[in-house]
Structure 1
Amino acid sequence: MFFLRTFRNISKLTNSQIIFNFSQCRELRKITRPIFQDEKYAARKTVKSLKILSDNNSKRIQNSDEPEDQLPALPKAEKNYVPTFNLAASINKSECLQELIKLGVNLNSIEKRKGLAEFVLKLDFEKNIKPHLLFLHDLGVQSELLGEMITKNPLIFKEDLDDLEVRINYLQAKKFKDHQITRIVTKNPYWLMFPTKRIDKRLGYFQENFKLSGDDVRFLASKQPKLITYSMETIRKNMFCITEEMGFDLEELRCLLLNKPKLWMMNADELIERFAYVHNEMKLSHEMIVQFPEILMSREFRIRERHEFLKTLGRAQYDPHKDLYVSPKSLVSGNDQEFVTNVAKCDMRMYEMFLKTR
């Protein structure tokens, strides 16, 4: 069963917590029990790995006073941050940096994030990096994607391989397919930084609040892996906006989540602004919005410009049962030239003149 209790709001995550907080591994039976209510699956390999990990980390866990729900965000590039290390100056002297460049790692991006340049310079390629690369390769991560993954999250090399193995074993125990696991790790390099118990809680939140099946949870996690480790404060705020302020019911929520999970990662104010326009001005029903959720992914001014232009042409008609029907998806798809040609059925000069006179 997933852990389904209410969680505290999660603030921006910090480095030290990701590295030291693996959650309370002594509750092994709870962690390795099947996460989906309608499935029973024993994961002996996970149990064995968790026991090893528990022994290796018991002292570290006991000495940690950090709250379980406060996990960190990795360092981000700061606008006014002046790097104290210039990695480019050390390339000729460092075999490790040379190998990272061969992999396609962007050292300039790394040194813009506080503390990461110093960390990378201390790594030994054969000892600290190569084993992790082999681990990722065994998961099916393509070699051409390794550079991008390392650029985004070089702190993956700070994680013990036993810990990483446990987190993969957990997904396997919960019947995630190999291609789903590969996509999760590739699309969200930070996933493996999260302890197994926390991932279990996050998946449990979505299963409970959206009444998802086991297959739905696996589909969601692999379709948009970033959502599972995203800020819970943002997710809860958007959940309130979509249900209470926009008025979508549970079934509509589930459809929106599985089709466009990124809606729960957007700015809530912008999301409400877009909904207000398409629902109140364009008269799109909740059913139509659920059928074409792409309309909520487009910027409000872009929707407004194209809708008003279609109105001047007498083509702003979104009822599929009437003539001159325009799909809400086609309204926001493609560039201006494609919109003018395929939807407005006119020439680009007319659209440009319209934009100048607005």
Structure 2
Amino acid sequence: MASSSTQLCLQCRRLLCSKTVANTWKYATQARHCTTVTRVPIKFLQGSSVISGNRKTTQATQRWKQQMFCYSDFTAKQLANEEKEDQDKELSRANVVEYKPSLPITDAVPLTESLTSLDLDAATEFSALEEIGDEEAVSISVPSAMPPASTSLRDYVDQSETLSKLVQLGVLLWKLEQKPNVGSMLLRLDFHTDVAPRLLFLKEVGVEHSRFGYIITHNPFILTESLENLQARVNYLKSKKFSSETVASMVSRAPYLLNFSVKRLDNRLGFYQQQLNLSTANTRNIVARLPKLLCGSLEPVKENLKVCEIELGFKQNEIQHIILAVPKVLTANKRKLTQIFDFVHNTMKVPHHLIAKFPQVLNAKFLRIRERHLFLEYLGRAQYDPTLPTYISLDRLVYLPDDTFCIELALATLDDFYLFQKTL
């Protein structure tokens, strides 16, 4: 067997020197046949005993390495032979290095059969059409389509139904990104089980559909409040004789209103009633007009009340009248409040009782008051005493449009007023 195998290899080496490409591939196939082995009997001598066994040599990895080695070796030899063929054919044959297989060669297997068995083995191991059991299917982990991390919620809109629906409602995601932990909270919410019931509740309360985006943008935590708590707070407001339309308006303009407990809402209403010495109806009136009084901190409110009483010098009844007319004075900026009062009282010489009578001036823009007063003073018409004929009230001074102000109060043209503004 060994001598016959040796003779077969010698024949293969002689055929490798052919010139044509067709013969080259033909004989290369024959040469590769020499490297394919099925089963080889192996004997191991241990002392006097002989242990026989069969070693399987048709493994895919070993066959592939041997075939590639034979093919590479043959290609290199063929190129060398073609370059030196014109010089010396005998020398080119001598330069061909004999290939000695590392394993004994027995029955040769055709290459096509070898490759076919290799492909079948690989297909059996990695086939995509292979049926799997239920347990194996459950164990397969499917990677999430969402980005693992991002600094912007817009990267998740296409994969999250909740975010895409919120965008359609008019929610501003870029504002929600500025609040800590809000983005991760929204991604954990399910639109059908978490968001939709709250939206239906707001609709039942009377909130318009166009206000949903504003409410969620400023208070996304309303989506995590239980429906029982939300209903209890609405019922409390109605028990205090707030109409359904008023409650809907309050919720639309103060998004955090329904996040506060019934006890806190009751304490806030009691605070304003006691501090301002108001009746129940008047307390309900200022809260309905400015529902943020129930949501914000009480410290700025207490500070503004002290400023009006101590620094500005208003009496208790005057403060009460100012708050009833302009509730925004309770939450106004302290610096702006004192700046307007100082100019109206000390520069324009308007007494306290007239300011209390027209408290809208405390909520106006300081620049508008200053420009119009200086223009009237330039024209000699800055008269704010109601006992004189050319009296100009503070409310008309502040709230009339520019053209009406020029015609009725300044008795001048609008162009004159614009030219005067350029001189300031």
What TM-score do you get using the length of structure 1 for normalisation? Answer: 0.73
How far apart are residue 150 of structure 1 and its match?
A: 1.0
1:242 alignment partner AA: C
CA distance in structure 2 between the aligned counterparts of 1:112 and 1:330, rounded to whole angstroms = 42
Equivalent residue in structure 2 for 1:234, among 278, 290, 300: 300
**1:182 correspondence with 2:248:** yes
**1:300 correspondence with 2:366:** yes
Aligned to 2:413: 347
Query: Cα gap change, 1:337/1:111 in structure 2, threshold over 3 Å: closer, same or farther?
Result: farther
Aligned to 1:195: 261
Equivalent residue in structure 1 for 2:284, among 208, 218, 221: 218
CA distance in structure 2 between the aligned counterparts of 1:341 and 1:128, rounded to whole angstroms = 58
Query: CA offsets, 1:109-154, max 9 Å, x none?
Result: 2223232222112111111111111111111001111111111111
How far apart are residue 342 of structure 1 and its match?
A: 4.3
1:106 alignment partner AA: L
Equivalent residue in structure 2 for 1:145, among 203, 211, 216: 211
How far apart are residue 351 of structure 1 and its match?
A: 2.1
Query: CA offsets, 1:36-76, max 9 Å, x none?
Result: xxxxxxxxxxxxxxxxxxxxxxxxxxxxxxxxxxxxxxxxx
How far apart are residue 292 of structure 1 and its match?
A: 1.4
CA distance in structure 1 between the aligned counterparts of 2:153 and 2:358, rounded to whole angstroms = 47
1:132 alignment partner AA: R
Equivalent residue in structure 2 for 1:88, among 126, 145, 154: 154
Query: Cα gap change, 1:310/1:107 in structure 2, threshold over 3 Å: closer, same or farther?
Result: same
CA distance in structure 2 between the aligned counterparts of 1:88 and 1:255, rounded to whole angstroms = 49
CA distance in structure 1 between the aligned counterparts of 2:168 and 2:408, rounded to whole angstroms = 44
1:248 alignment partner AA: F
Match of 1:211, SS state, is coil
Aligned to 2:75: none
Q: Which protein has the larger Cα radius of gyration, Structure 1 or Structure 2?
A: 2
CA distance in structure 2 between the aligned counterparts of 1:84 and 1:242, rounded to whole angstroms = 49
CA distance in structure 2 between the aligned counterparts of 1:248 and 1:230, rounded to whole angstroms = 25
Query: CA offsets, 1:291-330, max 9 Å, x none?
Result: 2111111233331221111011111112334323222112
Query: Cα gap change, 1:121/1:337 in structure 2, threshold over 3 Å: closer, same or farther?
Result: farther
In structure 2, the gaps of 5 or more residues are 1-148
1:217 alignment partner AA: T
Match of 2:252, SS state, is helix
Query: CA offsets, 1:182-208, max 9 Å, x none?
Result: 111111001111111111111111100
Aligned to 2:389: 323
Question: Is the CA contact (8 Å cut-off) linking 1:255 and 1:290 kept in structure 2?
Answer: yes
Question: Is the CA contact (8 Å cut-off) linking 1:85 and 1:117 kept in structure 2?
Answer: no
CA distance in structure 1 between the aligned counterparts of 2:408 and 2:217, rounded to whole angstroms = 40
Match of 1:212, SS state, is coil
Query: CA offsets, 1:8-44, max 9 Å, x none?
Result: xxxxxxxxxxxxxxxxxxxxxxxxxxxxxxxxxxxxx
Match of 2:246, SS state, is helix
CA distance in structure 1 between the aligned counterparts of 2:406 and 2:294, rounded to whole angstroms = 38
Match of 2:385, SS state, is coil
2:399 alignment partner AA: S
CA distance in structure 2 between the aligned counterparts of 1:171 and 1:356, rounded to whole angstroms = 51
CA distance in structure 1 between the aligned counterparts of 2:413 and 2:241, rounded to whole angstroms = 52
How far apart are residue 335 of structure 1 and its match?
A: 5.2
Aligned to 1:155: 221
Written as runs of structure 1 = structure 2, the 5 A alignment for 1:70-149 is 84-149=150-215
Aligned to 1:260: 326
In structure 1, the gaps of 5 or more residues are 1-82
Match of 1:175, SS state, is coil
CA RMSD in angstroms comes to 1.8
Query: Could you tell which deviates more after superposition, 161-170 or 113-122?
Result: 113-122
Aligned to 2:96: none
Equivalent residue in structure 2 for 1:278, among 319, 344, 366: 344
How far apart are residue 334 of structure 1 and its match?
A: 4.8
Query: Cα gap change, 1:345/1:131 in structure 2, threshold over 3 Å: closer, same or farther?
Result: same
Query: Could you tell which deviates more after superposition, 144-153 or 94-103?
Result: 94-103
Query: Cα gap change, 1:312/1:183 in structure 2, threshold over 3 Å: closer, same or farther?
Result: same
**1:205 correspondence with 2:268:** no
Equivalent residue in structure 2 for 1:171, among 230, 237, 253: 237
Query: Cα gap change, 1:342/1:121 in structure 2, threshold over 3 Å: closer, same or farther?
Result: farther
Aligned to 1:333: 399
Question: Is the CA contact (8 Å cut-off) linking 1:227 and 1:262 kept in structure 2?
Answer: no
How far apart are residue 348 of structure 1 and its match?
A: 2.9
CA distance in structure 1 between the aligned counterparts of 2:394 and 2:293, rounded to whole angstroms = 25
How far apart are residue 338 of structure 1 and its match?
A: 4.7
